[in-house]
Structures are given as C-alpha cells and as structure tokens.
Structure 1
Amino acid sequence: MNAIAENIKQIRQRIKKAALDCGRSPQDVGLVAVTKTVSPEKIRKAAEAGLDCFGENYIQEADKKIKDLSDTRISWHFIGHLQSNKAKYAVRLFDLIHSVDSLKLAKELNRQAARHGRVQKILIQVNLGGEQTKSGAEKQAAEELVYDVAGLENLSVRGLMTLPPFFDAPEKVRPYFRQLGALRREIAAKNIANVEMAELSMGMTGDFETAIEEGATLVRIGTAIFGERS
C-alpha cells in the first residue's frame, strides 16, 4: 500500500470513530480531498485508493487537472473564493460549489448554468469569525442570501460552508462549527422552496473530528492525505 492509500485508510478510520462516538453514521460524513498544488499523479493514486471527491481552490489549476484525469470517475468540488467572472468555468467544471457568498455571484452562476441547461448545486459560505481576509456572508446576512438565491431557477442550495478562524486547538474552533449547525437548523425549519439544508461543509486536517461532532457532512482534508504542500 502506498503512502497516500495508507493516509486515506487512517483518515477514514478517524472519521468513522468520530462519527460513532457522537452517535452518527459514518456514511453521513463525506470526505473531500483538497488538492491545491497536488499533482494529477497523486490525485490518481488517491482515486485508485477509493476516493471519489476532490476539492480545488483555483479555476485554472483545476481545469488542467480535470482534463488530465478525465478518464476517472471523480466528483469535483470548488472550495476556494470564486469571482463572478470565473462563474462560466466553475459551472462547466464542478459538481458542487462550496463558496457562494453574494447575490451577484449567485446570479452569474445561475445565468451560466442556464446556458448549459443544468441546475448547479451550491453551498452558501458563511463568515462566522467576521474576518476581513476571508470570504463569506456574515451570519445575519446569510439567511437573506439563501432566500434570494432560492428564487434562481438554475441553482440549488444544498447547505452551508464555513472557514472559521485558525486555532491550534480544535476546541477553540468548536463554537464556530456549532454556530453553523444552528444556522442550518434555523434555515431548514423555514422550509424554503428550492433549498435543502443537506450539507455542512466544515472541518479540515486539524479539526475535522470536532466538526463531525458538530454535524459536518463534508470535511475538507488535504495535508493529512497528501502531506505538506510544496
């Protein structure tokens, strides 16, 4: 077994344990392998080890990799900051876009999805830490954004995503994960048409077990699978 396959095995075991320890089914937690700066060769090894969902941060980098790996059965997610002028590429390349943070971006994604005759699945990114260096709608504005996006015929809101402030201790991140879980429940309770609060995208290599305890359905893990980025 190569190192990547062994890393994936260990991560899956940790996901399983974290889910079972808090009374959840491990099948309810999806693993998104973060492949920023990771070579197509390493991604192929991960796919051969059983991974089928990969997350990219940059359109240009993703475009080349997706072409190189077109013979594999991989689901691609966009997890980075997305500018409206790149929406036409994102709709063509990605099954799920995690980082919709404004109505302007949503409208352009909707327009491009309509051109392709498809309904684009998206998550609304929420900036719970109020950090100016990070994208995302503020918590108070996120629900309003969900309502606005729900009226766009070629978009399907599938849940929420957050990138909380960085802490060395996972317990310090827990309040942010808990806030996103609570916001998800609040929005789901309103039964908004064209909105399904199925996904919570939160948690990375250093804190994904805490995120699972707080309801994560998608954890985004790169370093623990592929090693430190070059």
Structure 2
Amino acid sequence: AASKTQNSGTVATAAALPIDLFGENRVQELVEKSAAGAYASRPVHLIGHLQTNKVRHVVGKASLIHSVDSQKLLFAIHREAQKQGIVQPVLLEVNIAGEVSKSGIALRDLTALAEACEALPGVQVEGLMCIPPKTSCEADQHRAFEALRLAACDLEDRHYSWIHMHHLSMGMSGDFESAILEGSTIIRVGTAIFGPRDYSIR
C-alpha cells in the first residue's frame, strides 16, 4: 500500500487489513509513521526519491529502497549500512522512457550502475523499479513494463554474483494490471486503496 500523505491513524487501520507491506515516498513520513508504530511490524519500503543527505534516516528502517539511480547514492547507502553493520536491500530505478521530469538512470547506463555495486558490500541489489509514462493506452503500458523486464533479464544473463533480480517494482493504481502481466512482483497502489490523496498534506 502506497501510503503517501496518509496519517499514522489511517495507516494503522490499513495495517489491520491483509496488506503485505507499505511504501512511502517521503523520508519524513516513513520516519514519523515508523516511530508511531503505524505499520504494525509490516515491512515498509521507500518508493520515492532519496537524497544523499537523508540516507541515514532510511537505511535500516526501510526494508527495501526502490529509488537508487546513481553511484553517489549507492555509495552513501553502502557507507551508512557499513556503519550500522547491516546490508541494505535496494532496487535500481530506471527512467524507462528517458523523461526529463522523472528520476531514474537511463537504460543505457544501467549495466555500469549494476557493475559499480560489486565494490559496495553494504548494499544488495534485489531488482529494478520504474515509473512509466502516464498513459491510459494498455499497449503503451505493456511496452514500458516489458522494457524493464527485458532489462532485468539482461542483467540476469550477465550472471553478476553480487546482484539479484528477485523483484520488479512497477505498476500503480492506474496500470497495475498491465504491470502484473509483464512480471511485476511489487505494485505500488495507493489511490485505489485509500482514495484520492490530499496533496496539501506535507
């Protein structure tokens, strides 16, 4: 359940339902709701953009960080994980359509980012994540999700011992059906569970 902008009480109510895990876009919300016990021991993932200066607030709290898109961020996570004596699971975020408005690494640079992980034992790559272009065309949705699946297959075929392709994080409330058909293992559904978000909440 993508619980961005939902207060701790709403999240705690949702935690009583058969929801596997929660995802937060904002570091501050993840920290505050964790401290309030809102997730009721359910895993929580960081699914939004992560700045390097906020890494210390997330490592060890998020069971999976979805939005790793640079060597600088990888190194910051590795360094904090080493301080804590843990290995932090992450996903590499791919900007599947090269949209300027979105974060994520370009497909052409994905292999280099994956190879950089070999020297960073504080992180464990578990798969890939993408936010595709917003469209109601199912064919376009499938093409975007297929591109991420094929990128994961390419990395698997390289047999890197230090990364796994266990997860594809793709699909939200408007396109999760297409994502599932293309092999998604994690869907980030918020509006379909909680209703329209109040973006005045910060």
Q: Smaller-chain TM-score range?
A: over 0.9
Runs of 4+ in structure 1 over 6 Å off = none
User: What residue number does 2:112 align with?
Assistant: 144
In 2, distance between residues paired with 1:180 and 1:71?
29
Equivalent residue for 1:56? 24
* Inter-partner Cα distance in structure 2 for 1:150 and 1:79: 23
Unaligned 5+ segments in structure 1 are 1-32
- TM-score for the superposition, normalised by structure 1: 0.84
SS in 1 for 2:59: helix
The corresponding residue for 1:109 is 77
Give the whole-Å Cα distance in 2 for the aligned partners of 1:83 and 1:181: 26
Q: TM-score, normalised by structure 2?
A: 0.95
- Report if the CA contact (8 A) 2:11-2:39 is conserved: no
Q: Is 1:229 aligned to residue 201 of structure 2? A: no
User: 1:201 corresponds to which letter in structure 2?
Assistant: S
Alignment-derived partner of residue 96 in structure 1: 64
Aligned residues: 198
**Structure with bigger RCO (C-alpha 8 Å, 6+ apart):** 1
- 1:157-193 CA deviation, whole Å, 9 max, x = no partner? 0000000111123332111100000010110011102
Task: Provide the residue aligned with 2:100 in structure 1.
Answer: 132
Q: Does 1:161 align with 2:129?
A: yes
**Pair 1:79 & 2:40 matched:** no
Please tell me the root mean square deviation across aligned C-alpha atoms, in Å.
1.1
- Tell me the percent identity: 39
The unaligned stretches of length 5 or more in structure 2 are none
Contact 1:119 1:154 in 2 (8 A): yes
Per-residue CA deviations over 1:187-214 (Å, capped at 9, x if unaligned) read 0011102111110000000110100111
